[in-house]
Amino acid sequence: MKVSIDAEICQGQGRCFSIAPTIFSFDDLGNGVVIGDGTLTKQNLDSARLAQSNCPEHAIFIEEE
């Protein structure tokens, strides 16, 4: 399972890195970025989903295998 942020859609609303700071961070402009390669474990899938469901721009995508 992998999480990603579509940089074209992200507007830096800042919800993801507040809700799931171990999965998401931010760049110099305040836009959301995924930490590392975005691989999710069973342990952090729920928090990635919670961040996804709070993104006002619908910029977070989770690829489930």
Partner 1 sequence: MTDREPVLDFSTDWDHTDPQWVNDPYPIWDDLRERCPVAHTDRYGGGWFPTTHDDVSRIANDTEHFTSHQVVVTKNKFPPGAPPAPMGGAPPITSDPPFHAMARRLLLPAFAPGPVNALEPQIRALCQKHLDGLRGRAEIDAGHEYAQYIPPGVIAQMLGFPPEDEDQFRDFVHVVLDLIDLEPEVRGPLFDPINTYFTEQIEDHLKSPRDDLTTYLLNVEVNGQKLAPEHVRGSMVLILVAGIDTTWSAIGSSIWHLATHREDLERLVREPELMPVAVEEFLRFYAPVTMARLVKEDYEFQGCPMKKDDWVLLGFPAANRDPQAFAKADEFIIDREVNRHAAFGLGIHRCVGSNLARLELRVAIEEFIKRYPRFELDPSKDVTWAPGQVRGPRALPLRVTF
Torsion of CA 21, 10, 47, 20, to 10 degrees: 10
Q: What are the tokens at 48?
A: 């990635």
Q: Would you count residue 22 as binding partner 1 (CB under 8 A)? A: no
Q: Residue 29 interacts with partner 1 (CB under 8 A)?
A: yes
Mark residue 38 as left, alpha or beta (left: phi above 0; alpha: psi -120 to 50; beta: remaining): left
Which C-beta is closer to partner 1: that of 28 or that of 65?
28
Task: Return the residue of 6, 7, 12, 63 that touches partner 1, per CB under 8 A.
Answer: 12
Which residues are at the interface with partner 1 (CB under 8 A)?
11-15, 17-18, 26-30, 50, 53-57
